[in-house]
A = this chain, B = another copy of it.
Amino acid sequence: MVLVMTDTTREDIPEFGSEFREKLTDLFRWRRDVRRFRNDPLTDDVLDYLLQLASLAPSVGNSQPWRFVKVEDAFRRKSMRDIFEAANLDALNDYAGEHAKLYAQLKLDGLDQAPVQLAAFVDKETVLGRGLGRKTMPETLHYSVVAAINILWLAARAHGVGVGWVSIINPEQVIELLDVPKDWALVAYLCVGYPQEEHIDPELERAGWQERVDMKKFVFKR
């Protein structure tokens, strides 16, 4: 893979033409939540490059509250699978009949295969940004971390790398397992690696769990 390194000296306002816009739409359409990964490792330089791009995300008050933890320890990775399995079994018990049958067949994580696992935290007490913009809506600090994850996700897909967001986990257990500062809260646990397959439709749509709905139904006027 050839990384396109950022030329930080280039200050010309870029032009985004129709060709780029069309490809960008393709990127949005083909970004998937990946749960099936190939065995090939993801090199540190690729991951670090994607994280650099993620740092270009917007953050409330420019607080940059994102904290990423690469989870490499074998025991911790095994424990993450246990944490997922327990939460997934508990979630399965909320469904009955056909829904339970379908839920049990879904593959909802890539923890067994993903070469890279990345926990994304928010530093709730960061002094960066001096609290600007988050007095009445403190959750914007968490949203800033989500923004970084979204940039990472799109950049990854453009480099042929898949990202899967695992949320069926008890966040307090993850915090304890990863031994992070007490002011951090878990935002996401990400699996990262090269995908086995590429799809234009979400896996949950393909599996018959939930179809997409026309955005027009979600836009209102006041």
Hey, which bits of chain A sit against chain B, CB under 8 A? 2, 4, 6, 11, 13-14, 16, 18, 20-31, 33, 48, 51-58, 60-64, 66-73, 76, 87, 90-91, 94-95, 99, 103, 106, 108, 119, 128-137, 139-140, 142-143, 146-147, 150-151, 153-155, 157-160, 165, 167-171, 178-180, 186-188, 198, 200, 202, 204-205, 209-216, 218-222
21 cross-chain CB contacts under 8 A: A4-B18, A4-B22, A4-B25, A14-B27, A16-B157, A24-B158, A25-B155, A28-B57, A31-B58, A52-B215, A54-B215, A66-B218, A68-B218, A76-B222, A106-B132, A129-B204, A130-B209, A133-B167, A136-B169, A137-B171, A154-B154
Q: Are B11 and A25 in contact, with the CB atoms below 8 A?
A: no
A214 → chain B, closest Cβ, in Å? Answer: 8
Question: Of B22, B94, B143, B212, which one neighbours A62 at CB under 8 angstroms?
Answer: B212
Chain B residues within an 8 Å CB radius of A222: 69-73, 76, 119, 178-180
A220 to chain B, nearest CB (A): 5
Listed from nearest, the 4 A-B pairs whose CB atoms lie closest are A55-B215, A62-B210, A14-B26, A28-B56
Residues of B within 8 A of A200 (CB): 11
13 more A-B residue pairs beyond the given contacts A4-B21, A21-B159, A61-B204, with a C-beta to C-beta distance below 8 A: A2-B18, A4-B18, A4-B22, A21-B158, A25-B155, A51-B215, A57-B150, A62-B212, A64-B218, A68-B220, A119-B222, A128-B213, A143-B146
Contacts of A202 in B (CB 8 A): 58, 62
Residues of B with C-beta under 8 A to A179 = 222
Residue of B at shortest CB range from A142? B139
- Decide: B67 and A220 in contact? CB cutoff 8 A: yes
Across the interface, A209 reaches (CB within 8 A) one of B90, B132, B168, namely B132
- Give the residue of B16, B54, B62, B76 whose beta carbon is less than 8 angstroms from that of A204: B62
